Structure 1
Amino acid sequence: MNILNRLPVILTLAVVGSAQAMDHSAEANCNSLSSVALQDTVVEKSVLVEAGPMPDSEASLPAHCLVRGTIESRVGNSGVAFGSKFELRLPVSWNGRFMFQGGSGTDGVVLPAYGERNQPKGNTPALAQGFAIVTTDGGHEDKDSSFGLDAKARTDWGYHSIDIVTQAAKMLLKAYYGRAQDYSYFVGCSNGGRQAMMMSQRFPDYFDGIVAGDPVFRLSASHIASMWDVNTFTAIAPKNADGKPVLSKAFSDSDLTLLSQSILQQCDALDGLRDGLVSNPAACHFNPRPLQCKGEKNDQCLSAAQISAMESSIAGPSDSKGNTLYSRWAWDPALSSEGWRTWKLGTSITEIPNAKKAGSSINAIRYVFVTPPAPELKAAAFDFDKDPQRMKASASFADASSTDLSAFRRHGGKIIFYHGMADPAISALDTQTYYQQLSKAQGGEQATQQFARFFQVPGMTHCNGGNGLDSFDTVSAITSWVEKGHAPDQLLATGQAMPGVSRPLCPFPSTARYSGTGDPNVAKNFSCR
């Protein structure tokens, strides 16, 4: 139920009342926010922060009001404290825009509300651009997903916290500035991308513009793929002196580089130019079989077991009857990048793996995605016939897979999807399939592109990084689309991995094609077709 309808809002500020609000100093206004009474909400801090450098960044932040609070505090199972904690930053020089900055993983921590977390590299934080920004911990504070033992905490994390924090933040914003925001945006990647899609589906009138990057929108299925990869690669990993497999050694860096180079040889030129990027992934039907060793294993070939394991990983998980349980993955040369190894294999030289898929994924499955929770479940014991059935119930609160965005369209909302084609955490092809289904449900490709566009990012891993071009400005793209009606016909991409190179990212299903003349390193010499 809408918090604004069910909760009487008592604004005890003398500043409430449009013009009167701005007559007070920024500091007085900010300090007074602790007196705003929202039922089930406690404002624990409201202080003015002077302009200065952003921590661990070259960016500078403007003077702003920092607000921290908690909504719906309660005590759950075993005396564990729950509540949707939030951080709201309100710049003194405001551009009239409000942004919800999406979270990551299974949340559990309130990230600084700067408007830059998990976004493509090189962009100015949205706070520094004049946006008011809010973040939340998703209703819990833990790092091992054990919040999932509490049924309400699961739902809070799935979508309820985003709902109530959005509404409370907008009320506090109105109290501070004396008026409501002109435009509202949700921008997130990974779990933040899932949250972004959730808002377009469950709360279609909350946001005018949404950016969903590398979205984990089918978490209940994507974690099955995590177990598939962990078990597939562990099965071929060399064993240590104790006879225990070492996951990180399933593929050496040389092995992955060999695969990467072979993918480029087979697929790079399919977009019309050999440039180190596979910009036409639909045409890439990579075959790793020619890399199989004819004799002993060496750095110039892969073993038959390695090839079989990589093909199995790319094909995605299935049950014993061959039924598909998730999605295929794209062959992208950035599988040789640090980010791909971090997620799939890790770097641990012991039998205890540190790959993200072997750690955070199994914890999430145990506590959040298996119903009832199964804290003792081991990755090696995951049953691909039985356990996926136990995970289906979690889709009701965690998945954002609906293609009914009709209410969002009626609201006038616009949404940008993007996904790194080398993402080792979430398959870019799963997002592509969702977009294709969305287009079918919303009247076809042309009709859908009037409010929703999907951009594939070759060479990028999860949200950023990889071997490609991972710097592009989605915030400017979504604000221009919402406020000026300028639909993004392309996004200009650059990246540290390819200095001096720029490319257009094209709305699916078009791809970047070289014109045949001009500098092939410059984006203007490419078109989307």
Structure 2
Amino acid sequence: MQKKAVLTFIATALCGLCAHSQSGQNHQAASQTPGNQTQAGSATINHKQQCLALKNTPIADTTITKAEWSNGEISTDRMSSLTGGSTNVLQAKPHCVVEGEIGARTGADGKHYGTKFQLRLPENWNGSFLFQGGGGVDGFVAPAVGSIPVRSSTARPALMRGYAVVSMDGGHPTPTPDFGADQQARLDFAYQSTGKVTTVAKQLIQKMYAAAPQHSYFMGCSNGGREAMMAAQRYPLEFDGVIAANPGFRLSRAAVAQQWDYQQFMKIAPKDAQGNKILANALTQADLNKVSEAVKNRCDARDGLKDGVINAWESCDFKAEHAGLSPAKTAALKAVMDGVRDSRGNPIYSGWYYDTGLNQPDWRAWKLGSSQTAKPDAISTTLGAGALTWYFMTPAVPNFDLNKFDFDRDTPKTYQTGAINDAVSTDLSSFRARGGKLIVLTGVSDPVFSAKDQVAWFRQMNADMKNAQDFSRLFMVPGMNHCGSGQAFNDFDPLTLLENWHGKNQAPERMIAQGKSFPGKQMPVCAYPKAAFYTGGDENKAESFECR
């Protein structure tokens, strides 16, 4: 496939995905007075006038392109399938909308680059700042509202709680991976754009309110979750709290794993009338339903209640052979779930937990897709394959034939990018020393970033840092796929947990959740390594479960 065709296909696939959301603690930084005015220190501020004046704020290497006062609605996050952002049109209270670009330049490939951002500054500011993570390979500026980055959450967005919220495009203008042809664009996507936008956003907040933020948080899912972990690891003095949901923190290895999955499934993919293998049919929906039911039959009751949720997911000893598939399909499923390995059997990326979410639409969308043509539409082959050849491989090899990816020879080509991109550090000493709090949450059934890998990192971080429980929590959500969805208790509010932990020193031991798959029920999601066990009483109530 030629370079132009590859990029067009990736962009088209991403646009198709776009078609596929409690109140927080209110820390008033300034006392409100009538007439859209705030008393901050000794200065009286008219917010609308201050907003419009931000258009002319001189900031080094930054152009402010928009500064407008808004009383209206905020459009849906059209990239919510990648960010976990809100799929609803939201009605906001009066606030300022600032947009701009940092570091505009012409790249080594002759294209325009710069980091674009959107900052929303509420009239009734609560004194806090939230950086909203992106998703996919970035390349777009989502509405800066600070929704809980799990599509199934109904918790109130940060902007509606009074936060100043910023979002960005990661340093390149389109949601395609061809920015990998430019060195600085790679660095911006990896982590540098976070530092740049944080600095500019805090300057604009100071200008708007004549006060600095009292609390600075970062919250994101998927690549935005990776950015969140990077915020704690590479900018430990800038953020007081971080929420990393389903983070692609070892993104370079996950990209290799996607090609492993593709190759394993293509071995058993049936052919159409023209002799083309159809990836989507490698495992039928009936096959996946069979696997999910077999997992439930083996492991569901281990938490004391057979209810379709495997809270004791870590003790589930299900094997591919238990599903009763054909030998060829069993072998392919086992190879995928055991994780990518080189020819000597050494693991390249983690394996995966068997869980109830393997038959859900999001798992299929990432692993198999639905295309009945020779051109697969699984996200791993649209977004993932392009990212591997353009960005993760150094140098970029855009015309690389991924059918021939060799896990011995070609995996080392991703190491350079992995070194700047992967949020694998376990040294969070500076972050902790200044009172930082870290909440990581992920779906046990995530099909793209392994929950098993997330647990391994968290365990290692706890081993490397004494008393890590003083500042970090991991919440594993059984049945949940990527950034929400799945058959799960996937409607929860980690931002309020962070507010209460950082602001009131209330360390979260459980996160109360509900979900559309289980109407009228609530369940605690327990801080790892504990899990929710049924103790008796009304099984619809969270208090009928204990964390142990």
State the TM-score, normalized to the length of structure 1.
0.92
In 2, are the aligned partners of 1:514 and 1:527 still within 8 Å (CA)? yes
Distance 1:117 1:353 in 2: 31
The letter for the 2-side match of 1:483 is G
State whether residues 389 and 400 of structure 2, in contact with CA within 8 Å, keep that contact through their aligned partners in structure 1.
yes
Match of 1:273 among 300, 305, 314: 305
Looking at structure 2, the residues matched to 165 and 288 of structure 1 have their Cα atoms a distance apart, in angstroms, of 46
The 2-side partners of 1:141 and 1:230 are apart by: 29
CA contact (8 A) 2:443 2:483 kept: yes
| 1:350-387 superposed Cα distances (whole Å, 9 cap, x missing partner) | 11100001111110011110001000112211111111
**CA contact under 8 A between 1:20 and 1:178: conserved in structure 2?**
no
Does residue 97 of the first structure (1) align with residue 128 of the second (2)? yes
- Give SS of 2:479's match: coil
Mapped pair 1:426 → 2:426: no
How high is the sequence identity, in percent, across the aligned residues?
40
| Matches for 1:217-232 after TM superposition, within 5 Å | 217-232=249-264
Q: 1:265 to 1:327 in 2, by over 3 A?
A: same
Counterpart CA distance in 1 for 2:274 and 2:408 is 31
| Residue number in structure 1 paired with 2:476 | 456
Secondary structure of 1:465 counterpart = strand
Task: Report the residue type matching 1:98 in the other structure.
Answer: F
Q: Which residue of 1 aligns with 2:184?
A: 152
1:389 match: secondary structure: helix
Counterpart check, 1:384 vs 2:415: no
Match of 2:421 in 1: 398
Deviations 1:423-474 (A, max 9, x none): 001000101000000000012xxx1111001010001000100011111100
Task: Choose from 42, 52, 57 the match for 1:31.
Answer: 52
- Following TM superposition, by how much is the alpha carbon of 1:59 offset from its aligned partner in structure 2, in angstroms? 4.1
Distance in 2 (CA, whole Å) between partners of 1:290 and 1:457 is: 23
What are the Cα deviations for residues 227-283 of structure 1, in whole angstroms up to 9, with x where unaligned?
Answer: 111111111010112211100001111111111111000010111211101111111
Residues 154-173 of structure 1 mapped to structure 2, 5 A cutoff: 154-173=186-205
1:525 aligns with 2:541: no
Separation of aligned partners in 2, 1:213 and 1:410: 23
Contact 2:294 2:322 in 1 (8 A): no
**Candidates 289, 295, 313, aligned match of 1:257:** 289
Count of matched residue pairs: 501
2:458 to 420, 435, 441: 435
Question: C-alpha separation between the residues in 1 aligned to 2:511 and 2:38?
Answer: 41
- Looking at structure 1, the residues matched to 75 and 117 of structure 2 have their Cα atoms a distance apart, in angstroms, of 19
The question of 1:367 aligning with 2:390 is answered: yes
> Could you tell me which amino acid in structure 2 is paired with residue 303 of structure 1?
S
Counterpart for residue 214 of structure 2? 182
Partners of 1:78 and 1:59 lie apart in 2 by 39
Measure the CA separation in 1 of the matches of 2:322 and 2:58: 68
Does structure 1 retain, via aligned residues, the 8 Å contact 2:440–2:473? yes
CA 1:47–1:312: 2 relative to 1, 3 Å: same
- In the TM superposition, what is the alpha-carbon distance from 1:500 to its structure 2 partner? 1.4
For 1:220 and 1:78, locate their aligned partners in 2 and report how far apart those are by CA, in whole Å: 23
Q: Which runs of 5+ in 1 are unaligned?
A: 1-14, 293-301
Structure 1 residues 263 and 59: alpha-carbon distance in aligned structure 2, compared to 1, 3 A threshold: same
Q: What letter is aligned with 2:537? A: G
CA distance in 2: counterparts of 1:514 and 1:141, whole angstroms: 49
* 1:144 positional shift: 2.2
1:40 to 58, 61, 65: 61
Deviations 1:58-80 (A, max 9, x none): 64211110000001110013320
Q: Does 1:62 align with 2:83?
A: no
State the match for 2:373 in structure 1.
350
Match of 2:532 in 1: 512
Report how far residue 288 of structure 1 moved.
Answer: 3.2
**Distance across 1 between alignment mates of 2:541 and 2:447:** 28
- In structure 2, the CA distance between the partners of 1:290 and 1:115, relative to structure 1 (3 Å rule), is closer
1:306-345 CA distance string (max 9 Å, x none): 1111111110000111110000100011110000000000
Secondary structure of the 2:417 match is helix
Q: Secondary structure of the equivalent of 2:475? A: strand
Q: Are 2:466 and 1:466 aligned? A: no
1:336 aligns to what?
Answer: 359
Change (3 A) 1:502 1:336: same
Per-residue CA deviation, residues 93-113 of structure 1 (Å, 9 max, x unaligned), is 111110000010110001110
Q: Distance in 2 between matches of 1:203 and 1:352?
A: 41
Give yes or no for contact 2:269–2:277 (8 Å, CA) kept in 1. Answer: yes
- Counterpart in the other structure of 1:319: 342
Q: For residues 53 and 74 of structure 1, do their structure 2 counterparts lie closer, same or farther at Cα, with a shift above 3 Å needed? A: closer
Does residue 207 (structure 1) correspond to residue 227 (structure 2)? The answer is: no
Match of 2:13 in 1: none
TM-score (normalised: structure 2): 0.89
Change (3 A) 1:290 1:36: closer
Match of 2:149 in 1: 118
Separation of aligned partners in 1, 2:407 and 2:268: 19
Report the Cα offset of residue 19 of structure 1: 4.0
